[in-house]
C-alpha cells in the first residue's frame, strides 16, 4: 500500500445535496420545503413542544411528585443480608466492600426483613426498632 493509493471505501463519499439550484437538480423552486407555511420560511421554526399557541401538553398536565437528591446518600440493609455476610463486626466500609450498599452511601440503616441467628455488632449503622430487637435477641449489639 502506498500513500498515493489510499482511497475512501466505496459509497463512503457522496455529493452534498444542493437545493434551490434549478429544475434540473430535482430540488429547485421550493427546494424540498413544500408550499407556504411556517416550515417553508427562513428562520421559521418553533421550540420543542410548541403547539401553535395552544397550551402545550407539558403545561396542561399537573405538576406531581418530588425526588429528593439526598436519597442517594441513604441506604438500607436487611437482616437476611447481614446473616449472609457472616461478619462479627459490621460498619459502613464493610458493607460497601461487600457490595450491599452503594459507594455514595453515608447513612445506612438495618431493616427487619429475614432472620438473623449470628451475633453481629453494628458500628456507625442505624437500625429500625424491629431490627434492633432481632439483633439483640441474636446476641448482637447496635452502637
3-state secondary structure 98-141: HCCCCCCCCEEEEECCCCCCCCCEECCCEECHHHHHHHHHCCCE
pLDDT tens profile 67-93: 999 999 999 999 999 999 989 999 999
Query: Where residue 45 falls among pLDDT bands split at 50, 70, 90?
Result: confident
Q: What whole-number distance in Å separates Cα of residue 109 and Cα of residue 34?
A: 63
- Dihedral of CA atoms 40, 43, 44, 50 in degrees, nearest 10, equals 140
Task: Tell me where in the chain the CATH 3.100.10.10 domain(s) lie.
Answer: 70-142
**Domain 70-142 CATH assignment equals 2.60.40.2700:** no
pLDDT > 70: what percent of the chain? 100
Whether the predicted pLDDT of 46 surpasses 90 = no
Report pLDDT for 82.
93
CB atoms within 10 A of CB 63: 7
Report pLDDT for 86.
86
**Would you say 109 and 142 are in contact if contact means Cβ atoms under 8 Å apart?**
no
Q: What whole-number distance in Å separates Cα of residue 107 and Cα of residue 126?
A: 8
Mean pLDDT of the chain: 94
Instruction: Provide the whole-model pTM.
Output: 0.56
Whether the predicted pLDDT of 34 surpasses 90 = yes
Report pLDDT for 128.
96
C-alpha distance from residue 54 to each of 35, 50, 58, 64, 83 (Å): 24, 8, 11, 22, 59
Amino acid at each position: 500500500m502506498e500513500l498515493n493509493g489510499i482511497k475512501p471505501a466505496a459509497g463512503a463519499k457522496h455529493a452534498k445535496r444542493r437545493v434551490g439550484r434549478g429544475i434540473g437538480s430535482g430540488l429547485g423552486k421550493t427546494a424540498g420545503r413544500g408550499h407556504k407555511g411556517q416550515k417553508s420560511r427562513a428562520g421559521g421554526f418553533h421550540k420543542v413542544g410548541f403547539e401553535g399557541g395552544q397550551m402545550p401538553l407539558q403545561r396542561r398536565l399537573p405538576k406531581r411528585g418530588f425526588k429528593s437528591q439526598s436519597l442517594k446518600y441513604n441506604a438500607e440493609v436487611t437482616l437476611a443480608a447481614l446473616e449472609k455476610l457472616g461478619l462479627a463486626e459490621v460498619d459502613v466500609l464493610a458493607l460497601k466492600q461487600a457490595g450491599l450498599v452503594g459507594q455514595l452511601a453515608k447513612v445506612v440503616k438495618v431493616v427487619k426483613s429475614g432472620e438473623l441467628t449470628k451475633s453481629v455488632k453494628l458500628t456507625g449503622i442505624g437500625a429500625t426498632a424491629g431490627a434492633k430487637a432481632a439483633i439483640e435477641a441474636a446476641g448482637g449489639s447496635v452502637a
